[in-house]
Structure 1
């Protein structure tokens, strides 16, 4: 993975540490997350709590993430490539922050009608995509993790 981006967990830790010393609120409308960019899908899988092949069933509501209203989706998980979970899960689509059109300037990556491969992190009783950029891929024909980004 490239060294110029922080993981979501590191960004949250940094924001929490800042809040503890009273310099800024934990989450504000101006919070910017500097998402990690992974060199390969294998690198993304290494950082993910789970990798799932499934299909998006439909919306399940919204959640506030990093000061933005993020979409939550119901996903039918057909194959757990990595990690464990149920056959139907809720996934928060990680928002892009501090961009025109936030939280999804190019459209929500989970707003799809095809099977997908998801790189996820645990988020309480649901899951969240590990980044807004590299967490949703078309499902591979082989149920493994591709070696290169499409």
Structure 2
């Protein structure tokens, strides 16, 4: 299974498979508005983030929740967040099932590399070890940790 996982993961990240639209996203002129995004597949989100990083398109997280892979938008320099949004963090898994230790370690670092430094440290020390439930953190707290507010 891990060979298949990494083959699909690599092809998506390298852009060999097209990224489908994400229903939790809405476009407001040039700004990408993120509302109530509960996450999704890591490889798809990585591709989307790479495209946003290259374009420099502003990202505003304004919805009630931003869970799982949605939190990876926080590492984009053009992202700002609402103090009211609840962010939900958990470790990497395969649809809620634990990953092999080596894959878990690699995927954790891929995710963490998309966070600002203080959040990255917390995620690697604490956040990634919760798999079936979420660590919930309000945007106001993340703003206190250096994430840019809108």
Shorter-chain TM-score tier:
under 0.3
Which protein, 1 or 2, shows the higher relative CO under an 8 Å CA cutoff with sep ≥ 6?
1
TM value normalised by structure 2: 0.23
Give 1 or 2: higher strand fraction: 1
